Amino acid sequence: MYGLNILTEANDRTILIDKDDNFDSLRNYLYDNRTIQDVLSFSFVAKALKYQDNVKPGLYRLSSKSSNIEAIRKLRAGDQVPTEITFNNVRFKEELAEKISRTIGIDEQEFLSALNDEEITKDLGFNTQTIMAMFIPNTYEVYWTISIEELLNRMKNEYIAFWNAERRQKAESLGLSIQEVSTLASIVQAESSKNDESPTIAGLYLNRLEKDMLLQADPTVKFALGDFSIQRILTKDTKIDNPYNTYRYRGLPPGPINLPTITSIDAVLNYEEHNYIYMCAKEDFSGYHRFAKTLSEHNKNARLFQKSLNSRGIYR
């Protein structure tokens, strides 16, 4: 049994009835937390309204001023209050499943299995590698009892609403599908947390795509290795045989390497036009980058950063 959770706001109490709870556990919990005063009366009314065998899970708000009959009618009707799901700073499906299941009744592993199900993702218009693009990071109101199918459909509708005519037109002008825009945005986001620099980075990768150059994006290697704690990509890392390794495979990887924010997606759609094709983190570790148009210029920037890594004893 997950149990019952209770929050107090003035005269209201918000109660979570889990799928494993029954009338006895609910009644005892309400009494122990002084939501009801008379157990016998509450039980009598519940029996009269045929609620004892019809307990519905969910999140409910009850007023301490409500009568037993008012409270039971609300519970019997399944008159829930919404809860919120929030997901951001997500790189892997496992992280998304954990964050989503945190505040609703969906099982984490069952949700993860749905994300890895080829038929389910295909029905939504994605595959198991691109499905992450469907989740636009934000805060959404849902009911605690929402099913996996209902949640996936809700996220698909939010995705459709986000990708309005204007954004779709901009994606088309780039020669990219909207899923490819999300994939590129995920790389841009992984490269820098500086939003003012994102359009510049986006423009750089678009230049490399246009020139049919390898993207050589370090974050894609970290994703392939499953380790974003790496601060220094080694030559041996760039040689791993993985479709997400953009040092080895041309073009965009098969899907996003994180959940790109709206800001990152719009940075790609509104990229900065320039002639840069190289970038390297600044040696001051400010989070910003030095951009270059030529390899010789880039090599100078890279030496500065490598020297700084060495001085700090960062070798991995």
Residue 235 pLDDT more than 70?
yes
CB 216 within 8 A of CB 287: no
Instruction: For residue 6, give the DSSP letter.
Output: E
Class of the CATH domain delimited by 6-77: alpha beta
**Strand spans (E) along 249-310:** 278-281, 289-292
pLDDT tens digit string along 90-127? 999 999 999 999 989 999 999 999 999 999 999 999 99
Which DSSP category does 73 fall into?
H
Instruction: Name the segment(s) of the chain with CATH classification 3.30.1490.480.
Output: 6-77
For 75, 232, 235, 236, 252, the CA distances from 216, given in Å and listed in that order, are 57, 14, 12, 14, 10
End-to-end CA distance of the chain: 45
Per the model's pLDDT, the better-predicted residue between 232 and 217 turns out to be: 217
Q: What is residue 8's predicted lDDT score, i.e. its pLDDT?
A: 45
Residue-wise pLDDT tens digits, 214-230: 999 999 999 999 988 88
Residue 267, token pair as written in the block: 């940075």
**Residue 206 CA, distance from chain mean position:** 25
Q: Is the pLDDT at 5 greater than 80, yes or no?
A: no
The pTM score is 0.87
